[in-house]
Every structure is written in C-alpha cells, then in structure tokens.
Amino acid sequence: MSDNKDLTVNPLSGNFSTSGADTSMRGFAHPKEKAVLENAKEILGKTETGARLLDVMNHYKIPIRVMSGREITYTTPDDSTVYLMAPPAVTKSYDVVALTLGCGIRDVEQGMVGFKRPDKDLDPVEYAAMTFSKSLDIIVNMCKIADELKEKLGFQKPLDIVYELGHGNIYKAQKANADYNEIVDLFVEGERNATEGLL
C-alpha cells in the first residue's frame, strides 16, 4: 500500500496493535482532530448500532482522541479511552473512521459491562478463549455497523473492509440472523484458514 492509495486498512487493530501511532500518544494529535471526530460521529449516529454506541460514549463520558497515523485504526491502551488513528488526508474516508469509532467504543464498552481484557497470567487456553470472544464480539459489531452504513446511507467501503479482513462469512451469517454457535464456527474456520495460509 502506498501513501496515497487506500488509507483504510484495519479498523480491528484495537488493543492488539498501536499501528500507525506512537504508543506514548504525545504530540501526535491529528491536525484536523475536531473535524474528523465530528464527521465520524455524525455518520455513525445515523445508524441504529452506531447511535446506541454514541449513547454509551456520552453516558460514560468515554474520551475519544484522533491521532495522526498511516492508516485508519484504533487502540484502547488504558481500556477507557479510544485513540483513533487517521492519516492527514482522511476526509474522503469519514465512513471508515465512523466504522472504526464504533469498534473502539464497543471495545471500551466491553470492559464497562465486565467483559475485561484477559490477564496475561491466565492459563494460555483460558487467555486465548477470552481474547477470541472479545474479538468475535467486536467483529460482529463491525459487521452490523458496516451493514447499516451500506443499507441506510449507501457507504460501500466499510462493507468492503469487512470482506477484505476475511469476515464476509460472519457478515452474511449475522445478517441472516444465524445463531451464535454458527457464527463462532465460521470465525474459528476463518482463523484456521488464515493461520494455515501463513504456514
């Protein structure tokens, strides 16, 4: 990916990455932070899932910061603040920033409802199971937002990202109101296929 091609790579980096940003977060505020955040919130608020998440953000006063980075992603290093990363030329991708904002708010919301990040001292199997559950929850949330952005507002790129990340089957299953176990099976299969592709 070159600097001026597709600037929208992975809204799911979340807690597992600080891609595109200095981990200290100091001195990296996006030059158009206010505009980026306001445009993303406006778009997100026009979807049912996004409006609920913005209510959560407002109710719990979840701080949101926009930092300069190479790609659109997020991190929640302290489990209470969402740091969105976005390149300077992000203005044509506010729909993707909205999708990423929704994922970030859901990540913080998980901890607020007791679905906390697993302790690294846990048994490896239990740690993996908790990480898996948290990731799947955020992916399903992302699929819902992407679908609503497409169906209600005509934004195609967020849904394209769902497919690019390999979650097309999860998207189709949740849209068809599949039960949770079926969605879990699809996620496991997708992770297995991705892992085998790296070997």
**Distance between CA 164 and CA 168 in Å, rounded?**
8
Model pTM score: 0.83
pLDDT of 79 reads 86
In SS3 terms, the chain reads as CCCCCCCCCCCCCHHHCCCCCCCCCCCCECCCHHHHHHHHHHHHCCCHHHHHHHHHHHHHCCCEEEEECCCCEEECCCCCCEEEEECCCCHHHHHHHHHHHHHHHHHHHHHHCCCCCCCCCCCHHHHHHHHHHHHHHHHHHHHHHHHHHHHHHCCCHHHHHHHHCCCHHHHHHHHCCCCHHHHHHHHHHHHHHHHHHHC
Domain ranges for the chain? 14-112, 124-198
pLDDT, tens only, 58-85: 999 999 999 999 999 999 988 899 999 9
**Distance between CA 9 and CA 19 in Å, rounded?**
10
Nearest Cα neighbor of 72 from 62, 58, 82 is 82
pLDDT of 2 reads 37
pLDDT, tens only, 121-165: 888 888 888 888 999 999 999 999 999 999 999 999 999 999 999
pLDDT, tens only, 35-47: 999 999 999 999 9
Residue 86 has pLDDT above 50, yes or no: yes
191 near 133, Cβ under 8 Å? no
Question: Residue 83 is encoded by which pair of tokens?
Answer: 């740091």
Q: pLDDT band at residue 17, thresholds of 50, 70 and 90?
A: very low
